[in-house]
Structure formats: C-alpha cells, structure tokens
Amino acid sequence: MADLECGFANPTLLQMHGPTISVRVGFDPDFLPDGGPPSLPDSSVPSLIDTGASISCIDSQLAEELTLPIIGRAAVAGAHGPGEVNEYLAHIYVPVLGIMIHGRFNGVHLRAGGQPHDVLLGRTFLQRVTLHYEGTTGRVVVSA
C-alpha cells in the first residue's frame, strides 16, 4: 500500500489550499487498461482532492493546451449556479499511488477563476483510496 502526504505544515495552510497532489494529465489513444500506465506528458500539474466534487474535472484551459478530445457538453452546477461545459476524454495519472483514472472529465474554469489547481480529484478518485484528514494539524495522507 502506497501513502502520499498531501497536506501542509499547519492547519491554516491546509484550510487555505486544501489537500494537493501532483498528477499527470493527457490522452493516450493507444492506452490499454491492463497494459501499464498511459503515455502522457512528463510534466505534473497541481490537483486538489475535492471531497465535494462528485466527479473529477480538468481545467478547461489546460485541456485546450493538451488538445484533449472534446466528446460532448455537460450541465454543471456550483457555487455560482448552473452552467454548461465541454467534456473531454482524458487520462489522469497519480504516479506516486499508481492510480490512473480515464474517461470523461468536465472542463471547468479553475485558472480563469484564480484557482492554483489544474485538476479537481472528486469522488471518482476517492472511491479508490483512503483519505486521512487531520484538520487540527494540517496533515493529510492518501493511501492506495
């Protein structure tokens, strides 16, 4: 079982930034589920573990930069009410944990909203891990 520390040195920083991990994002059309990790760009992007998100999402600007395939539109709702966004076909890989999520991801406007994260890892990610969140200390550990 792999463990990944993704909190901060104190509770104030955790409250400000949320549990953050590095992930690789892209789309490998030749990926086979039993054939090892997908071939993705080497660079990692910051990802927020978001227990309030039912699905995992990718920043729309990042999706465009990576030329991820648009496969539809999706209705979304958030703090600012309802809207509609592009759905992208992609792979999100968490190398330290050996977890790969593939499929449809909503393209949300994280960068445009001033967010420091390029990916939201929602409950589609959380269903694969154990999350230990210590709000009093700022420590967060994800185990897979």
Residue 75 vs residues 11, 30, 107, 141: alpha-carbon distances, Å: 34, 29, 11, 32
Using alpha carbons only, give the angle 97, 11, 44 rounded to the nearest 5 degrees. 35
Percent of the chain with pLDDT over 70: 98
Place of tokens 């967010």: 115
In which region does residue 139 sit, left (phi positive, over 0), alpha (psi from -120 to 50) or beta (all else)? Answer: beta
Residue 74's SS3 state is strand
pLDDT bucket at 79, cuts 50 / 70 / 90: low
CB under 8 Å to 125, separation ≥6 — which residues? 49, 56, 92, 94, 99, 101
pTM beyond cutoff 0.75: yes
pLDDT score at 76: 81
Decide: 72 and 103 in contact? Cβ < 8 Å: no
pLDDT, one tens digit per residue, over 21-63 is 999 999 999 988 887 778 999 999 999 999 999 999 999 999 9
**Distance between first and last Cα of the chain:** 6
pLDDT, one tens digit per residue, over 81-115 is 788 999 999 999 999 999 999 999 999 999 999 99
Q: Of 40, 38, 46, give the one whose Cα is nearest residue 19.
A: 46
How much of the chain is in helix, strand and coil states, percent to nearest 5?
10, 45, 45
DSSP codes of every residue in 21-38: EEEEEE--TT--TTS-S-
